[in-house]
């Protein structure tokens, strides 16, 4: 059980400091206090999600940049997920990402999303 709380003011200060230095979030999440780790491999991308809100999130919307188009987006916990793909912003294209996969999933304590 996670009983820690991350105060809104502290999150805003940290996010503001990163943004002021030009550090953009690679993965965009609709809920704060969810940690995302992105791991690229030749066969696709794995997105590891950890929920530190202490409660399930019924509709977590995720935006993940991709170096190559995805054929399928699959949650290890929930199976295939419907998704859309958008063009990546110029800053992401400069980092080698060509598109962004957008999807919504339910998140309990954690999950791994495979983008193949």
Q: What is the DSSP letter of 88?
A: P
Task: Give yes or no for residue 29 having a pLDDT over 90.
Answer: yes
Helices (H), 2-99: 8-20, 90-93
User: Which pLDDT tens digit goes with each residue over 54-65?
Assistant: 899 999 999 999
- The owner of tokens 């993965």 is 27
Task: Give yes or no for residue 39 having a pLDDT over 90.
Answer: yes
Q: What confidence score (pLDDT) does residue 45 get?
A: 93
Which is it for strands 44-51 and 57-66: parallel, antiparallel or unpaired? unpaired
Instruction: Give pTM, 2 decimals.
Output: 0.84
Mean local confidence (pLDDT), 58-84: 96
Q: What confidence score (pLDDT) does residue 23 get?
A: 60
Q: And the tokens for 19?
A: 């943004």
Ramachandran assignment for 29, one of left (phi > 0), alpha (psi -120 to 50 degrees), beta (any other)? beta
Q: What confidence score (pLDDT) does residue 25 get?
A: 72
User: Which pLDDT tens digit goes with each residue over 2-22?
Assistant: 555 666 777 677 667 766 776
- The owner of tokens 């791994």 is 112
Q: What confidence score (pLDDT) does residue 104 get?
A: 98
CA–CA dist 101, 3 (Å, integer): 32
Q: Are 86 and 97 in contact (CB under 8 A)?
A: no
């Amino acid at each position: 059980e996670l009983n820690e709380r991350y105060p809104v003011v502290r999150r805003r200060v940290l996010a503001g400091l990163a943004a002021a230095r030009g550090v953009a979030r690679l993965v965009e999440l609709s809920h704060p206090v969810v940690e995302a780790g992105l791991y690229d491999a030749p066969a696709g991308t794995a997105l590891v999600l950890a929920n530190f809100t202490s409660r399930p999130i019924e509709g977590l919307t995720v935006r993940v940049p991709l170096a190559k188009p995805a054929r399928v987006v699959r949650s290890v916990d929930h199976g295939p997920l419907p998704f859309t793909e958008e063009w990546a912003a110029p800053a992401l294209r400069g980092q080698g990402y060509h598109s962004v996969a957008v999807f919504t999933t339910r998140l309990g304590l954690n999950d791994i999303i495979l983008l193949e």
